[in-house]
Each structure stands twice: as structure tokens, then as C-alpha cells.
Amino acid sequence: MFRFIVRRLLQLIPALFGLSILLFIWLHRLPGGPETAILGERGTPEMRAAIRQNLGLDEPILVQYGRFMKRMLRLDLGASIATKREVTTEFLQRFPGTVELAATAIIIAIAIGIPLGYLAARRRGRLLDHVSVAGSLIGVCIPVFFLAYVLKAIFAENLHLFPSSGRQDPTIEATRITNFFVLDGLMTREWDAAADALWHLVLPGLALASIPLAIIVRITRASVLEVLGEDFVRTAEAKGLTERVVRQRHVLRNAMLPVATTIGLLTGGLLSGAVLTETVFAFSGIGAFIADSISQRDYPVLMGFIMIIAVLFVLVNLLVDLSYSLIDPRVRVR
């Protein structure tokens, strides 16, 4: 197991190296540049040239890439061109919000998707099966931003049941320790602050969970149907085992491998930021900040954020691979 973890972590090095090259080429191929975002259309050529020289963008691309790699090896991501703050500081300030939002969305998707997919498979061809399949298709087809606007209009602006924007009510004086608002409220026993932060996560979490929920329902249903047709399930039923034992020990456990893979991929994608959801609900996360950085050609932020997200994506999928041995002991033997 230890050698497997080390091998997967070593595979991260060439992956990050290749990603850094592609990112660098892509960023420098974007039309315009930081000087355009800073000066606008009225900047003179002399002013643009001075900014490019100050940022080191007038040097050959190989020199710029070498300088970037040297900083990366020192874990120095540089400073944002737009805000003048360290990229690491910007990331640590916004990433907790993205983690809370992603965790809310994936918990909703798992809590509803796996039971619904299992029940749909057990009742194949019945009303519940048809409804779940149709619902999953609708969930995949509806754009997230449209669902976010609908939820916001109905439950926040008309019914006033949930807040319409932000991560927490600004009038609440909450203690900040980790910048995870819910966790900070629990750690400091500021229950009102924790509850308010959770309340702010409901609508954006539901909107963001729509596509993962639909995918998990379909994958779970297909996987359970496949397992139900296996000989060992029919043998267990013929032996007179109770439905609960057959469901937990034989069906669900063997059907979870593809579901776990799907959940890992979805979680990694959610952690990369939800630009549309964060924008609709004015939720302070990395998604909206990355979108703003693209328009501002903020190269240090884009390079730093995307490289960190790539590492997190690999680590999430490593945890998924490790979970295989818990779900199916045969994986551990192989």
C-alpha cells in the first residue's frame, strides 16, 4: 500500500511539469495582456511597454518559464498583478468557501443519489425507476446557472426562506480561525454563526449538486443492475439470506467501485471552483476569482491556482483508489 501511494505521488511530478508547459503556452497565447487589463484601451505604447518590462513579460518565453519553475520549486507562487497580494494568500482566503460549497453539493448528491439509484434498480421498470431516470436526464440537461437563478428567485427573493448571496450575514460578528465559516463557528461555539453559514450554503449547494446527483443516480442504477444479475447474488438469495444482508454485503458493496470512481472525479471537479454558481450567489470562492483573473490576464494567479487545483485533483483520486481496498478486498490483493 505504501509503495502504491509513493508511486502515485511520483506520477504527479511529470503530470505537473506537462501541465505547467501547456498552461504557460496557453496564457501567453491569450489576446491582450496584463497591460491591457491595467491600462484599458487608452494606454499608450510606451506605457504598455513599461508595464511589460516591469512584469518581466518582455523577456523570451523560455526565460519567463524558467523563472516561474524556480519559484515553483521554492513553493513561491508570486504575487497577483491585480491585487498585489501573494497568490498563496489569495488562494487560502477563497479556497475554504469553495471547499464548503463543494462538500455541501457532493454530500447532497451522495445522500440522495445512491439510495435513489439503488431503489430504481431494485424496482426496474416501475414508476420509481421511470421517475428517477427522467429526473436524472433533466438534472443533466438543466444548466446550473439557470437552476441557480430559479432557486434564488423562488426561495430567496420571493419566499425569503434562504439568503440570496454571500457566505454569511455581514452583521454577524464571527471569529475567524480557518476561514471555513461553518468550522470556525463550531470551534468557537458561535452556534448562530455556524448555522447562518450553513443556511447560506443550502441554495448554492442544491444548484451545484444537480449534475453530480443525476450522474450518481445513473451510475448507481446501472452498477446495481449489473450486480443483481450475477450468480453470487442469486446464490445468496437461494440460501435464504435476508434482503438486508444481500443488499449490504453482496449488492451494494460490489456495486460501489464505479460509483466511488465517479464520486472522486466529481469531487475533484467541484473543488476546481463553480464559476456560475459562485457568481449567481455572490459566493466568495476560487471559481469566480479565476474567471476574473482570466479577464485581467493575471498570469501568476492563473498559474498558481490551476497548479494547486491539479495537485488536489490527483490527491482526491488517490483517496478514491485507496477506498477501493475498503470496498472490495480483492483490490487489495491485486
Share of the chain above pLDDT 70, in %: 93
Q: Is 142 helix (H, G, I), strand (E, B) or coil?
A: coil
Please indicate, yes or no, if residue 331 is contained in any of the structural domains: no
Please indicate, yes or no, if residue 130 is contained in any of the structural domains: yes
Please indicate, yes or no, if residue 23 is contained in any of the structural domains: no
CATH number of the structural domain spanning residue 264: 1.10.3720
Q: What is the reported pLDDT for 152?
A: 93
- pLDDT tens for each residue of 149-183: 999 999 999 998 999 888 899 888 888 888 899 99
Please indicate, yes or no, if residue 85 is contained in any of the structural domains: no
Please indicate, yes or no, if residue 231 is contained in any of the structural domains: yes
- pLDDT tens for each residue of 49-74: 787 777 777 788 888 888 888 888 88
SS3 for 271-323 is HCCCHHHHHHCCCCCHHHHHHHHHHHCCHHHHHHHHHHHHHHHHHHHHHHHHH
- Tell me how many domains the chain contains: 1
Separation between Cα atoms, residue 61 and residue 199, nearest integer Å: 47
Please indicate, yes or no, if residue 167 is contained in any of the structural domains: yes
Please indicate, yes or no, if residue 228 is contained in any of the structural domains: yes
Q: Has this prediction a pTM greater than 0.85?
A: no
Please indicate, yes or no, if residue 325 is contained in any of the structural domains: no
| Domain containing residue 217 | 93-276
